[in-house]
């Protein structure tokens, strides 16, 4: 039986209009339960990234509301930074800074948000890199990594223990099928070990990888 206590995110009638008339989200309502894996499929331009970015308020809905663990995060009174720490987002283009090493990319946010000091952040980043098999790339720059390796770095960066939900924006885009399979296996392994809630958007289900 599912009770309200199992609901992690509730999206209620969310609209997002860019400019005067570009209706990217048109009254979306959705309930995401704890431990669930949700895959959202739709063509390019259908609003998938806008939806995913709305979940942690990187896009602010034009109307409607979004509840995270029972708190209305669209309310002005909510401290969104506190909730964002519980949401790990892997962007479509990985969002790595090319002028920073892998380790510096990974320690930037936790140090900036004062969640850890520099040394703690380094230790944690190395532990996470170890998990995705990239400890030896800690001092490499993003330009020295393959697409799949860059992706694993961005995966590692969000797989911290206190994150409740992982948001993936087209994790298979630009990956060859074998690397894509590795990526899905990695998400699957994390989900099986932690039962974190996972939301994935994709423009199509490629080669049955998600089945
Ligand atoms: P998808 O991820 O499914 O490809 P998006 O959510 O990126 O789709 O975009 C949905 C629509 O909103 C598209 O028409 C896109 O051009 C538009 N859009 C997205 N972000 C912005 C923005 N920051 N400003 C204006 N239009 C945007
Ligand atoms: Mg997109």
Does the Cβ of 49 fall within 6 Å of ligand 1?
Answer: yes
**Residue 150 CB contacts under 8 Å (≥ 6 apart), including other chains:** 94, 96, 142
Residue 91 Cα, ligand 2 centroid: separation in angstroms? 9
Q: Cα 77 to the chain's mean position, in Å?
A: 24
Residue 46 Cα, ligand 1 centroid: separation in angstroms? 8
Q: What is the DSSP string of 15-67?
A: EEEETTTEEEEEEEEEEEETT-EEEEE--TTSSHHHHHHHHTTSS--SEEEEE
Whose CA is closest to atom 26 on ligand 1?
18
Closest approach atom of ligand 1 to CA 170: 2
Residue 7 Cα, ligand 1 centroid: separation in angstroms? 27
Q: How far apart are CA 105 and CA 136, in angstroms?
A: 15
Per-residue model confidence as pLDDT tens digits over 122-142: 999 999 999 889 999 999 999
In this prediction, residue 208 has a pLDDT band, given cuts at 50, 70 and 90, of low
**How confident is the model at residue 195, as a pLDDT?**
86
Q: Give me 191's structure tokens.
A: 């989900």
Between 156 and 29, residue with greater pLDDT: 29
**How confident is the model at residue 173, as a pLDDT?**
80
C-alpha separations of 161 from 18, 22, 125, 173 in Å: 35, 38, 12, 26
Residue 191 Cα, ligand 2 centroid: separation in angstroms? 23
> Residues 33-37: what's their mean pLDDT?
94
First to last CA, the chain: 25
Pocket mutation for ligand 1, best pick of 14, 18, 57 (most atoms within 8 Å of C-beta): 18
Residue 184 Cα, ligand 1 centroid: separation in angstroms? 25
Q: In what order do the strands lie in the sheet with 63-68?
A: 22-33, 7-18, 63-68, 71-72
**How confident is the model at residue 147, as a pLDDT?**
87
Does the Cβ of 205 fall within 6 Å of ligand 1?
Answer: no
Residue 45 Cα, ligand 1 centroid: separation in angstroms? 6
Per-residue model confidence as pLDDT tens digits over 77-93: 998 888 888 898 888 87
Instruction: Report whether 55 contacts 73 (CB < 8 A).
Output: no
Whose CA is closest to atom 22 on ligand 1?
18
CA proximity to 41, closest of 205, 208, 206, 207: 205
**Cα Dmax for the chain:** 50
pLDDT at 1 over 60: no
Pocket mutation for ligand 1, best pick of 15, 45, 51, 167 (most atoms within 8 Å of C-beta): 45
Q: Which ligand is nearest to the CA of 46?
A: 1
Does the Cβ of 26 fall within 6 Å of ligand 1?
Answer: no
Report the chain's mean pLDDT, rounded to a whole number: 89
**Residue 200 CB contacts under 8 Å (≥ 6 apart), including other chains:** 37, 38, 39, 40, 168, 171, 187, 210
35 dihedral zone (left: phi>0; alpha: psi -120 to 50; beta):
left
Q: How far apart are CA 95 and CA 159, in angstroms?
A: 16
């Amino acid at each position: 039986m599912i009770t309200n206590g199992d609901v992690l995110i509730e999206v209620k009638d969310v609209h997002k209009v860019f400019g005067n008339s570009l209706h990217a989200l048109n009254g979306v309502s959705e309930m995401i339960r704890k431990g669930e894996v949700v895959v959202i499929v739709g063509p390019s331009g259908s609003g998938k990234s806008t939806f995913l970015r709305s979940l942690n308020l990187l896009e602010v809905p034009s109307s409607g509301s979004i509840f995270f663990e029972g708190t209305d995060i669209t309310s002005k009174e909510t401290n969104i930074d506190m909730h964002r720490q519980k949401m790990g987002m892997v962007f479509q283009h990985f969002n790595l800074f090319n002028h920073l090493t892998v380790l510096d990319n990974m320690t930037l946010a936790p140090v900036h948000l004062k969640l850890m000091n520099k040394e703690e952040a380094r230790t944690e980043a190395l532990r996470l890199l170890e998990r995705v098999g990239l400890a030896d790339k800690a001092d490499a720059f993003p330009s020295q990594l393959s697409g799949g390796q860059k992706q694993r770095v961005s995966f590692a960066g969000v797989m911290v223990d206190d994150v409740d939900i992982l948001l993936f924006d087209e994790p298979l885009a630009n990956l060859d099928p074998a690397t894509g399979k590795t990526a899905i296996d990695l998400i699957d392994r994390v989900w099986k070990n932690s039962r974190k809630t996972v939301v994935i958007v994709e423009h199509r289900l490629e080669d049955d990888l998600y089945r």
